[in-house]
Amino acid sequence: MKYVTLGNSGLLVSELAFGTMTFGSGNLPTIYKVGQDQAQELVDRALDAGVNFFDTADAYADGQSEEMLGRLIGKRRQDVVIATKAGNRMGPGLVRSGLSRKHLLAACEESLARLNTDYIDLYIVHKTDPFTPLEETLEALNDLVRQGKVRYIGYSNWPAWLAAKAVQMQRERRWATFVNGQMYYSLIGRDLEHEAIPFMQDGGVGLTVWGPLAGGFLSGKYTRDNLNDPDKRLSGFDFLPHDKEWGFTVLDTVRGIAERHGATPAQVSLAWLLAQPHVDSVLIGASRLSQLEDNLKAAELTLSREEFSQLGELTRPEPLYPNWFEAKTRDAVVESALKVR
């Protein structure tokens, strides 16, 4: 297992992180389906493989995921990095969601209790909140850091302009600064490259990837005939938008590369992400030990330069304006003088 520092912080995390969204039971049976004994097996195996980074959220199975992870980590708490998230609805009350000061402070206390810990390593705001002033959210996060209840802070699913505005405000006011963005990124979902990744690289914000297999689609277990199989995840939680037919075309190439390496499509898809210089850590989830074992092997797979480029060109997103305008008007004379490639 390889390790990196998260963003511009000194926090050391494994390049593969273990996501516990599957832990618990509830109204999404294709997602929440891992009981305590099975979860113990998965966490123990992840630790044995060198994973030290575990991710959860208060909203996963109504808090069951946090409770289970807290019990499973137990005495090993000081040896691991735990990330959890807040912002989604946690009850019927009007104020039991969002990124207001009231909700964030309450949500943090509740997560601490469920995780059975007195601090959270990485506290992530799970989504945007258009009804709360940004300043209020950032000041509340800063207070949690100053109180010692949170060590580092991050965001998830924010547009680049809002994250950039937040980091600028944090720096100006000398508040705790975002060190991490947890964002969706996969071979068939590369929208992040338009604006978010350039900002994160410039701002020193580390990227943790969620959904690296596009909800399981890139695992290779789906075909055109079984997409609607009620026992499979996509039948009940087809959350990520993408052209399925194009996705199967991509999978054909992924399968060919996998066969040459004696690997699986999932391993190739994960290895491509791990080779990206702008990726700090990739979240892998599992509901069975065999899935976890398969994903862990991605850390041992190195794609050739040709394979990496082939997948990159096949799935490269069309540039958006003004990016395409900038590319078309580059100054070749200056770039040649500066030896810019």
CA distance 23 to 64: 7
Q: Which class for 310: exposed (0-12), middle (13-18), buried (19 or more C-beta within 10 A)? A: middle
CA-CA-CA-CA torsion sign (181, 187, 191, 195):
positive
CA distance 65 to 31: 11
| One-letter-per-residue 3-state SS of 157-189 | CCCHHHHHHHHHHHHHCCCCCEEEEEEECECCE
Phi, psi for 2 (deg, rounded to 5): -100, 160
CA distance 118 to 207: 26
Examine the residue annotation and report whether 152 is marked as an active-site residue of this protein. Answer: no
60, 155, 185, 222: the catalytic one is 60
Instruction: Work out the number of other CB atoms within 10 angstroms of the CB of residue 238.
Output: 15
The answer to whether residues 8 and 252 touch, using CB atoms and an 8 Å cutoff, is: no
**What burial letters (b/e) apply to 36-47, b meaning 16+ CB within 10 Å?**
eebbebbbebbb
- Strand 120-125 and strand 81-86: the pairing is parallel
The answer to whether residues 65 and 20 touch, using CB atoms and an 8 Å cutoff, is: yes
Active site residues: 60
